[in-house]
Amino acid sequence: MKDKTLLSDFSHTTATELPTASCHCRVSQQRVIKEEHFTFSAGNLPEVPPRLAAPNLVVTKTKHQYGNCVDVDTLHFYASGGTHRDLGVLILAVIFSGKPQRVAIELEHEASSIKELEINFAGFSRGACWGYSKTPRQFVYHPEVPNRIPWDGHFDEKDLPLFELDFSKGSGHHPINDLDKRDRVEIRGGDDGLVLVADLLLNLGLPECDEKPCEGPLPADKTYVLECFLGHQRVNKWSAEAQFHLPKSFSWPGEYPELIG
């Protein structure tokens, strides 16, 4: 591990400072309520290393069928709330570096059919005036338990994230006949789309997300879904769909016990 930094080690200092309960600032405007916020900035985020490793994150791929004729790639992220939160911190660190940047995470768990996850920040959109540039100032994180399909509201498609499923570089696989061998995922977009993803991942680290009551004999459904334009659009038109799963959820495979914690 000489040339790779563990994702958990990278984000540890920042993650331990984050709130562990939802804030109430969006609940009441009539009285003063103690709010739990955290403000991210370039000053309190760690410098992004060239390469990371995550032994406790599993990413697999399936298809989501719409109707009888459309299959959409779907990516499944299986991890504890803490690991999801670590990934959110990394995404924000990439954005607040203030420059276009790629960072790769090697997924070391043997059950992960995706072997590399890359965060690709395209940088800030250019202003209409030549010579005008933008830099991020801060992101005030308001912790809250997300809806199963997050991000209420209407978004411009260019502001949504894109999850791209592809082959590892230099794999030599056939671009059509070997589609089932794709083993690399890229999360990319502008600052707005990536901050949306980071905010969701930070929220999945809240203890409240693990305390959903079971309905009947089945475990609670603690899966958070980003669908394409054929469903509740939460990703770019050309994106694969993404689902983020928490342990002990209805959708959690029983063979991943070591990811819990």
> Are 115 and 103 within 8 A, CB to CB?
no
Terminal alpha carbon distance of the chain: 22
Neighbours of 220 (CB within 10 A): 16
Task: State pLDDT tens for residues 239-258.
Answer: 999 999 998 888 888 777 77
- Which residue type occupies 117? L
Q: How many CA atoms are closer than 13 Å to the CA of 224, on its beta-carbon side? A: 24
Work out the angle at residue 141's Cα, subtended by the Cα atoms of residues 261 and 160, and round it to the nearest 5 degrees: 90
- Helices 191-204 and 81-95 meet at what angle, rounded to 10? 160
For residue range 127-173, what is the model confidence (pLDDT) as tens digits?
A: 667 777 778 899 999 999 999 999 887 778 888 999 999 888 777 77
Residue type, 15: A
Q: Strands 241-245 and 70-78: what pairing?
A: parallel
C-alpha span between 104 and 114 (Å, rounded): 12
What is the pLDDT at residue 72?
92
| pLDDT (mean) for 160-188 | 85
Amino acid letter for position 150: P
